[in-house]
Structure 1
Amino acid sequence: MAHAEAAAKFNENEAKVNWHDKALWFVRQKRDKQAHKIQGWEQLRDYASALKANVLSNLDNYLVQFEENAKKNGVTVHWAANAEEHNKIIHSILQKHNAKKIVKSKSMLTEECHLNPFLEANDIEVIDTDLGERIVQLAKEPPSHIVLPAIHKTKEEVDELFQEHLGTKPSGGNPEYLTREARKHLRNKFLQADAAITGVNFAVADTGGFVVCTNEGNADMGAHLAKVHIACMGMEKLIPQEKHLGIFLRLLARSATGQPITTYSSYFNKPEEGKEMHIIIVDNGRTEQLSREDFRRSLHCIRCGACMNTCPIYRRSGGHSYDATIPGPIGSILSPGKDLTKHSSLPFASTLCGSCSDVCPVKINIHEQLYKWRQIIVKDVPQPTVKKNIMKAAGSILAKPKTYDFVGKSTRFMLKHTPKSLINSKINTWGHARDLPEVKGDNFEEWYKKRQKNE
């Protein structure tokens, strides 16, 4: 299903769409307030972008350095070329320890690799311990946002979900009650877990350690209580030195949720005595994306979600309409690199307003990359006949001033005198939810000439 069709389904509930839009814009406004409080905010963004560019230009050396230092710390390092290898490595570690109960903190990489269904198919219980992730897991839905996975759910919907799966009492969507009940439910899961799986926000090449950022402390609970800690890391998550962490930690939370810092920024360096720590470094298409000169900067992404919170399309179409692990503007760059045919509609789900690039903490030129994908897609992916003919006609009109002038006058006359019932007919899908402004008699050129004569 193309993005526009999936978005149309989301838009059937207008009240919910308006609420979704307002909630995400509120987060965007919090981000702006925090950014304005930091002296040298733009300089921080410049530093972060430069550091990421340095890492990508020397990725092989930094990966080897990270592996060497992690091994010195007593960590077992694994390499996975794709999602299948990633899942098999995790399964082999769990089999070694006869682990049947797993607690997992938020990790978009494990979502990308479809780890949960793989483990469940092998009779292993895997519980997502981030509250938002647990909500969508109970609802049997994928996350709709990389930082706010259940942003598409109202508190009343969560109330009903918890009544069905956790046996809670009706509370009318009381956030405090629902949070307490989720805490009680998850606390038992932590205590019973045989192993813990986390993501990696930042991996430090010169120490071999890594940082996991959460607001609920769930990664710490899992990693410290279980005997085995498995950290899943996209190979682009590296930063060169420990001193650079301060730059990224100051940018991440402010960009993501408008907080000064995440509640827990946990640095894992080596396993506790008597326990095991594993790191799985995953490619899964990242090397291929790195080879694309026009799109390599997309690998700068630190998964803050700021581009989604500001995007007018994402806010009013919902994350599920993208049918991809990473939705929104940045996902619309990453997904076509993996499957151009399946995700060919995503780069067109943008106004190219540039707001996504403006808020990106690592200064990815998101709107420019979306435009570049459009150019590739119209050449490489078959387009609908109607669309091709319309674009061809538009190109012909725009290339000839006299034709453009004639068509402009004709269109203005028709729009002015034709009944709206005909203008906003079934053929005009654009007009289903929009109305055109009042049509004036003159175009700009005619208006300008009249003005010059009057002067």
Structure 2
Amino acid sequence: MLNEQNRPEPDDLRLAKNVNYGSRRQRHRQALWFVRAKRDRMANSFPEWETLRETAGAIKAHTMSRLADLLEQFEANATKLGATVHWASTTAEHNAIVLGILQTHNVKRVVKSKSMLTEECHLNPFLERHGMEVVDTDLGEWIVQLRNEPPSHIVLPAIHIKREEVGELFHKVIGTPEGLAEPKPLVEAARGELRNKFMRAEAGITGINFAIAETGGFVVCTNEGNADLGTSLPPVHIACMGIEKLIPKAEHLGVFLRLLARSATGQPITTYSSHFHGPKSGGELHIVLLDNGRSDILGSSDFR
């Protein structure tokens, strides 16, 4: 776990070490080219690829031109569904809002699915400084969390780590047999450990891949199902979203779902596309919308 006494090395030092680590550099290159080749094969086998990309770009351009109105529409519709919508201008405001929700419910144990926005906000160490156990439940994110490291890639957070190193880590932290290096038993060990965390969790935090203004609902895409477990078991769900994740209508969602996994990992679609429309029965849903300079970028001609 990240904490003040055991902070990760600065990025420049970590970069220097890895650049000079020949086998790791080669492995990193091979893994990235493997994923890129899958992506290119998928794109080349998909006749509508460029049309979909152009359509997605047009939808996003339209969204950005009406962003303020669409955000208000999303807030109104999400509220009608029973969610509570919060607005944060900065990462500090975002983290304070999340902390306030958790403290209101006396939460001490949190499970979290993959969210680049919470990485942007450094949410994990912030909550840990306030006495909370925060467990990343995406496998790659959990591995780097156990190593006290930030993710090294936006899609493949543990791409720099060998399976033998994962085996050594699991032996040290969760007591798996020494020398274990095969993926299947490592994944089974992780599943058992994380299931216990899910069962004990008092709140779940997710990101948001797509939020839909006309419905007030949103979609979270995963390959491991951890977002579903992390939101169906605890009574409190906090969904954290950058304001750029909005799309106007439900009919636009299919365009982005067909592009997302194909572009990221070369899959036709993520294994799970979980749709949320208000809180579960007896639970609470909080949606935190973060600006953090996005409006300034939107107003700059350099980024339009």
TM-score normalised by the chain length of structure 2: 0.94
> Is residue 66–residue 205 contact of structure 1 (8 Å, CA) maintained in 2?
yes
Give the secondary-structure state (helix, strand or coil) at the position aligned to 1:222: helix
> Is residue 110–residue 205 contact of structure 2 (8 Å, CA) maintained in 1?
yes
Please tell me whether residue 274 in structure 1 is matched to residue 282 in structure 2.
yes
Please tell me whether residue 152 in structure 1 is matched to residue 154 in structure 2.
no
Q: Deviations over 1:184-204 (max 9, x none)?
A: 000000000000000000000
Alignment of structure 1 residues 341-380 onto 2, 5 Å: none
> Is residue 221–residue 270 contact of structure 2 (8 Å, CA) maintained in 1?
yes
**In structure 2, C-alpha distance between the alignment counterparts of 1:4 and 1:266, rounded to whole Å:** 37
Which residue of the other structure, out of 23, 33, 37, is the alignment partner of 1:29? 37
Q: Which residue of 2 aligns with 1:210?
A: 218
Q: Deviations over 1:113-170 (max 9, x none)?
A: 0111111011011000000000000000000111110001111111111111111112
Please tell me whether residue 233 in structure 1 is matched to residue 233 in structure 2.
no
Q: If you compute each CA radius of gyration, which structure gives the higher value, 1 or 2?
A: 1
> Is residue 76–residue 277 contact of structure 1 (8 Å, CA) maintained in 2?
yes
Please tell me whether residue 64 in structure 1 is matched to residue 84 in structure 2.
no
Closer, same or farther: CA 5–178 of 1 in aligned 2, 3 Å: closer
Please tell me whether residue 222 in structure 1 is matched to residue 266 in structure 2.
no
Please tell me whether residue 193 in structure 1 is matched to residue 201 in structure 2.
yes
**In structure 1, C-alpha distance between the alignment counterparts of 2:268 and 2:142, rounded to whole Å:** 25
> Is residue 168–residue 179 contact of structure 2 (8 Å, CA) maintained in 1?
no
Report the structure, 1 or 2, having the larger strand content: 2
> Is residue 27–residue 160 contact of structure 2 (8 Å, CA) maintained in 1?
no
Closer, same or farther: CA 3–196 of 1 in aligned 2, 3 Å: closer
Give the secondary-structure state (helix, strand or coil) at the position aligned to 1:106: coil
Which residue of the other structure, out of 260, 264, 271, is the alignment partner of 1:256? 264
**In structure 1, C-alpha distance between the alignment counterparts of 2:68 and 2:234, rounded to whole Å:** 32
Closer, same or farther: CA 18–46 of 1 in aligned 2, 3 Å: same
Query: Residue type of the partner of 2:61?
Result: A
> Is residue 171–residue 177 contact of structure 1 (8 Å, CA) maintained in 2?
no
> Is residue 214–residue 264 contact of structure 1 (8 Å, CA) maintained in 2?
yes
Which residue of the other structure, out of 98, 108, 112, is the alignment partner of 1:104? 112
Closer, same or farther: CA 118–33 of 1 in aligned 2, 3 Å: same
Q: How many residues of Structure 1 are paired with residues of Structure 2 in the alignment? A: 296
Q: Deviations over 1:380-405 (max 9, x none)?
A: xxxxxxxxxxxxxxxxxxxxxxxxxx
Query: Residue type of the partner of 2:90?
Result: N
Q: Which residue of 1 aligns with 2:27?
A: 19
Give the secondary-structure state (helix, strand or coil) at the position aligned to 2:135: strand
Closer, same or farther: CA 2–86 of 1 in aligned 2, 3 Å: closer
Structure 2, unpaired ranges of 5+:
1-8
**In structure 1, C-alpha distance between the alignment counterparts of 2:129 and 2:123, rounded to whole Å:** 10
> Is residue 199–residue 212 contact of structure 1 (8 Å, CA) maintained in 2?
yes
> Is residue 190–residue 221 contact of structure 1 (8 Å, CA) maintained in 2?
yes
Alignment of structure 1 residues 277-292 onto 2, 5 Å: 277-292=285-300
Tell me the C-alpha RMSD between the 2 structures: 1.5
Q: Which has the higher contact order (CA 8 A, sep 6+)?
A: 2
Alignment of structure 1 residues 415-426 onto 2, 5 Å: none
**In structure 2, C-alpha distance between the alignment counterparts of 1:169 and 1:143, rounded to whole Å:** 26
Query: Residue type of the partner of 2:108?
Result: K
**In structure 1, C-alpha distance between the alignment counterparts of 2:44 and 2:16, rounded to whole Å:** 36
**In structure 2, C-alpha distance between the alignment counterparts of 1:2 and 1:273, rounded to whole Å:** 44
**In structure 1, C-alpha distance between the alignment counterparts of 2:100 and 2:12, rounded to whole Å:** 41
Query: Residue type of the partner of 1:264?
Result: Y
Closer, same or farther: CA 2–279 of 1 in aligned 2, 3 Å: closer
**In structure 1, C-alpha distance between the alignment counterparts of 2:204 and 2:13, rounded to whole Å:** 38
**In structure 2, C-alpha distance between the alignment counterparts of 1:294 and 1:3, rounded to whole Å:** 27
Please tell me whether residue 54 in structure 1 is matched to residue 62 in structure 2.
yes
> Is residue 223–residue 229 contact of structure 1 (8 Å, CA) maintained in 2?
yes
Q: Which residue of 2 aligns with 1:179?
A: 187
Give the secondary-structure state (helix, strand or coil) at the position aligned to 1:141: coil
**In structure 1, C-alpha distance between the alignment counterparts of 2:237 and 2:11, rounded to whole Å:** 37
After TM superposition, the runs of 4+ consecutive aligned structure 1 residues lying more than 2 A away are: 1-9
